[in-house]
Amino acid sequence: MKQTKCVWQFHDKSDALKEVFDYFRFCTNEMIRVSEQKNLTSRGAMHKEFYKNLREDFIAKYIQSSTSVAKARLKLYRTTKKKKPDAKIPYVKRNMITLDNQSFKIQDEILRIPIKPHEYIFIKLHSYVIKKLEDTKVGSITLTPEKLIISYSKEVFQINPKHHVGIDRNFDNATSFDTTGKFMVYNLKKTNQIKATYKVVKSKFKRNDARIRKKLYSKYGKKEKNRVHQLIHEVSKKIVSQNQGIVLEDLKGIRKLYRKGNGQGKKTRGKMNSWSFYELQRQIEYKALWSGLPVQYVKANGTSSKCSECGSKLVPEENRMMICNSCKTIVDRDINASRNILNRGMRFVPHAVQSEVMKQFKDTEQIVPSLIDGLK
């Protein structure tokens, strides 16, 4: 099974690449505009239509790469248009170029990128990047005025771990419960504190100039994102490092629950809509698959409200504790949810007490004797 990751570094070649950025952006936008008018859907048709018209002094590989970018943008646009007929045709504003692994060369820790025939730019790769690319197959590269992003892949053989772990994601923490009976609570309160802090900072901006305000929001938004992602990275790394199979709940429709008019306050909606539940899932999934660990998803309904021992309805108590009136179990809400997630992932049906099982059949006394007579 092939798995792909990316590694990036900063560079300082923006001046030499300015002309290439302009050309790549022009080609991509022209392909999007004309392909939508002529209803071109395949890469081959788009390349045939534009190759002669857009071919200039630059190497032909830029035409192929811009075709791939244009096709991806058009595919997303056409899918969105089915739900939103008034969706706007995409337009690439960002300075960027992409190249496949046949268009560049890495030798002696130097990346060579062609611009025009017999004209190249050279970027020194960091030791960290070189280490990541060892024993892997280098894929495409994406270049922006500030960053160089290199994708790489390797063949991963999925292993059959001895143990599995179920993970329950909450607003302030992530709780895990594994098949050995061990549970862990990973604190994520700091991520919410960071978001709240940056929200206050951005609310203090008083500049009337929309362009300056946009730059400031973008600057502080990136800082917030980087700090939050780093904390989530540390948690996801700890979870995957246990070398256990991962079972996650399939969370969907969270954003729809917290919209204006649903009965929640503005602060509650803002807080819940900033919850990074998917980012934690994304990081756990790609790190586990890269290590060959299986990842599976189960339905999320009822994981917190049903008893993990007998399957009965739980009654909430103080401090997120839950009590089961059937089996008298008292358990933490998050631990109970992670255990239910694990049970579902392992295809485990909770054992009910005998009295509860018998209550499901009204005519048990008549059924059992008839079965015995049939066996005789």
Every domain of the chain and the residues it spans? 2-155, 164-298
Nearest to 167 by CA among 181, 185, 150: 185
CATH of 164-298 among 3.40.50, 3.40.720, 3.30.420, 1.20.1050: 3.30.420
Token pair listed for 300: 């999320």
H or E element: which one contains 166?
strand 164-169
CA atoms within 13 A on the CB side of 50: 31
Its pTM stands at: 0.80
Could you read off the pLDDT of 154-173 as tens digits, one per residue? 999 988 999 999 999 999 99
> What is the reported pLDDT for 312?
85
Could you read off the pLDDT of 281-310 as tens digits, one per residue? 999 999 999 999 999 999 988 888 888 888
Token pair listed for 218: 């973008």
> What is the reported pLDDT for 274?
87
> What is the reported pLDDT for 376?
45
Could you read off the pLDDT of 71-109 as tens digits, one per residue? 999 999 999 999 899 999 999 999 999 999 999 999 999
Report whether 123 contacts 110 (CB < 8 A): yes
> What is the reported pLDDT for 241?
94
> What is the reported pLDDT for 152?
95
> What is the reported pLDDT for 351?
40
The DSSP code sequence of 32-94 is HHHHHHHT--SHHHHHHHHHHHH--SS-THHHHHHHHHHHHHHHHHHHHHHH-TTPPPP---S
DSSP code at position 313? B
DSSP code at position 296? E
The list of the chain residues with pLDDT below 50 reads: 348-376
> What is the reported pLDDT for 239?
95
Dmax over Cα atoms in the chain, in whole Å?
91
> What is the reported pLDDT for 61?
87
